[in-house]
Amino acid sequence: MRATQQLHDLGQSIWLDNITRGLLTSGTLRHYIEELSVTGLTSNPTIFDKAIEDSDFYDSAIRQKTAEGKSGEVLFFELALEDVTRAADLFRPVHDASAGVDGWVSLEVSPLLADDTAGTVKAAVQLHGRGKRPNLFIKIPATPGGIPAIEEAIFAGVPVNATLLFSREQYLGAAEAYTRGIERRIDAGLDPKVGSVASLFVSRWDVAVKDRVAKPLRNRLGIAIAKQTYRAYRELLASSRWKRLLAAGARPQRLLWASTGTKDPDAPETLYIEALAAPDTVNTMPEKTLLAFFDRGKINTALPDDGGDAETVLANFARAGVDAVALASDLQHDGTLSFANSWNALMDCIASKSALLGKAR
């Protein structure tokens, strides 16, 4: 049995961390669904920037929309919604068969709204409404401005992928926002079934400390943070508070491992996938990592509910001078800036393509 099927049978969903029009039109995404046990998909500004810049799949649509007077964010979100809704339709059978637990696709609000709570909520409601798909997540960064936006979006019935999480504490903040949103819906007599995942970024930890720690500690910090967060996730789901919500018909917010492609060329390509095999979670994989795991991955043991050796490993990093709390804040800040830069590059790409294709008409 292939490793991807083994991971699926363990109870971890495999999502693709990529979307391009080529993946959709070529049948590649359908192949991944049918043969590689892929049950969902995530996107972000960097992915769309690369997809649009490095191919001509979008040229016809850009030419047409430019002729209609559309530009910038308006033009981009039309392109993105065309892609994600098509992907959502491919995953709809999975979504229906899992009673809404799986089969999701994600589209992010503008990263420039990271500190704008009201603007984020408005954008999330509008994007989900335009998508008209029950299995569409709207990604909201769990920044200080994003946390209250997550609660309000959930209360409004918008499924949310809470993204840019880097630590147990940041995860718990996003989980609290989700929980409050569901509790408010129950109090208001609304359906408590609003889907959500909380996306913890893993590999960026190891990139950040690779030149600051001895070789035996390299490529271990991200996994330890993930294990520590998994323990908090399990404890939350076992709490009396969540048991009451489950009894009322609510659905747990699943923990998702993001940024699971190996950045160190000397480390195995499947390092984070094999280390973080855990029931009731999601792993969203870059295409290269997915294919490597399908070809030669192995599942040894599932992640223990108590986080295993997480605290011991984190203590070793503390002794090596790594302040995980401060670094988590820095990573989220840097991640927010990185996505904003990608967004600006994406807008530049669309503008230049629009101008070039307009001249070619």
CB 48 within 8 A of CB 62: no
The C-alpha angle 199, 124, 246, rounded to 5 degrees, equals 55
CA distance 79 to 100: 25
- Considering 65, 139, 227, 353, which one is annotated as catalytic? 139
CA distance 357 to 66: 9
Asked about 288 being catalytic, the answer comes back as no
CB 258 within 8 A of CB 161: no
CA 361 to chain centre: 38
CB 36 within 8 A of CB 304: no
CB 56 within 8 A of CB 32: no
Which one, of 41, 101, 79, lies nearest residue 252 by Cα? 101
CA distance 346 to 272: 29
Which one, of 47, 171, 61, 193, lies nearest residue 108 by Cα? 47
What DSSP character marks residue 270?
T
CA 79 to chain centre: 20
- Cα–Cα distances in angstroms (integers) from residue 308 to residues 40, 178, 230, 238, in the given order: 28, 26, 10, 18
CA distance 235 to 242: 10
**Catalytic residue list:** 139
